[in-house]
Amino acid sequence: MAIATTAPARAAVVNRPRVGVVKFASCDGCQLTILDLEDELLALTDRFEFVEFAEATSRRSSGPFDVLFVEGSISSPEQAVEIARLRAATRTLVTIGACATAGGIQALRTAAEHEAFRAAVYPSPAFVESLAVASPVASYVNVDAELRGCPIDAHQLVELLTAVTTGRRPQLPDQAVCLECKRRGLECVVVTRGEPCLGPVTATGCGAICPGMGRGCYGCFGPREGANVDGLARWFIDGPAMGELAPGDVGRLFAGFTGAAPIFREVTDRLEGRPLIQLQPAGAYPAELAAHTPPRWASDARETPDA
């Protein structure tokens, strides 16, 4: 994406949109990805006022935010309270990364005994307040847009900010990774090596990084529209062109960074022989705070003729 680097003088831009970047349970990698936008950062700061950016500045804000990027999953009771406060102070709330959009790697504890985990990790688990499940932000509050991936694709973030300023819907494709793979002219690792690849069921947006490095996609952007997870898992287990993969191994392929996404979790639990566990923490949150601003991009509809 071409971003003009000759930004207008700072004083020329009045009423810059107020942008915040906050984090919950996460590794900060998505924030670092934003900071890696070296060619675009100056243009971004000229056009947007970053009133809070956890990884970049000690400046903090209580809001309001025109755009708030939220990194990380909701993993503790105080985070559950904080996300509602932020939602109320925000016009456009955008979750960034696998943790915020699907729970992240920490959501794997959903399938484990929470107390046993705590006891194994912490000498005094009583001091650690954590919820039994790590949840995507959307389990608690309305989310206007999601930027997926572990980490996010920074250019999708620029695209989203551009869309916000111009009033259009961001172009965040929901197609399979395969489309980008083939547009790049990459061979299919499933076909040439029998290597499992989640590309056919995973949303593109990364630019097919992993297949481009000769390995299978591990689904960090999460399920795409219409993901036929069962069809892919069945081929991995039974496909005559595949190697020997046990059902449990295939199930675990989907239990990665977006493993808590319902359609992935369902296949993991089934192939590992576990009952499906509900992710949504019942009654964890006051209902009146859960339903806030209507999503700005509520519809997946795209441009059409008027006729």
Q: How far is CA 69 from CA 52, 148, 295, in A?
A: 10, 12, 14
Of 74-82, 94-102, 197-205, 275-283, which part binds another protein (CB under 8 A)?
A: 197-205
Whether the bond into 151 is cis, omega within 30 of 0: yes
Of 72-80, 107-115, 158-166, 279-287, which part binds another protein (CB under 8 A)?
A: 158-166
Smallest distance from another protein to CB 82, Å: 30
Residue 86 interacting with another protein (CB under 8 A): no
**Cα–Cα distance for residue pair 7/285, rounded to 1 Å:** 43
Q: Pick the binder of another protein from 82, 159, 249, 266 (CB under 8 A).
A: 159
75: left (phi over 0), alpha (psi -120 to 50) or beta: alpha
Taking residues 135 to 154 in sequence order and writing x for each that binds another protein by CB under 8 A, - otherwise, the string is --------------------
Residue 133, helix vs strand vs coil: coil
Contact positions with another protein (CB under 8 A) in 175-194: 175-176, 178-179, 182-194
CB 27 within 8 A of CB 134: no
Smallest distance from another protein to CB 140, Å: 27
State the Rg of the chain over Cα. Answer: 20
Smallest distance from another protein to CB 253, Å: 14
**Cα–Cα distance for residue pair 171/273, rounded to 1 Å:** 38
Contact positions with another protein (CB under 8 A) in 230-249: 230-232, 234-235, 239-241
Smallest distance from another protein to CB 8, Å: 8
CA 122 to chain centroid: 28
DSSP 204: -
Q: Where does this chain bind another protein (CB under 8 A)?
A: 1-4, 43-44, 47, 158-159, 161-163, 165-169, 171, 173-176, 178-179, 182-194, 197, 199-201, 214, 225-226, 228, 230-232, 234-235, 239-241, 299-307
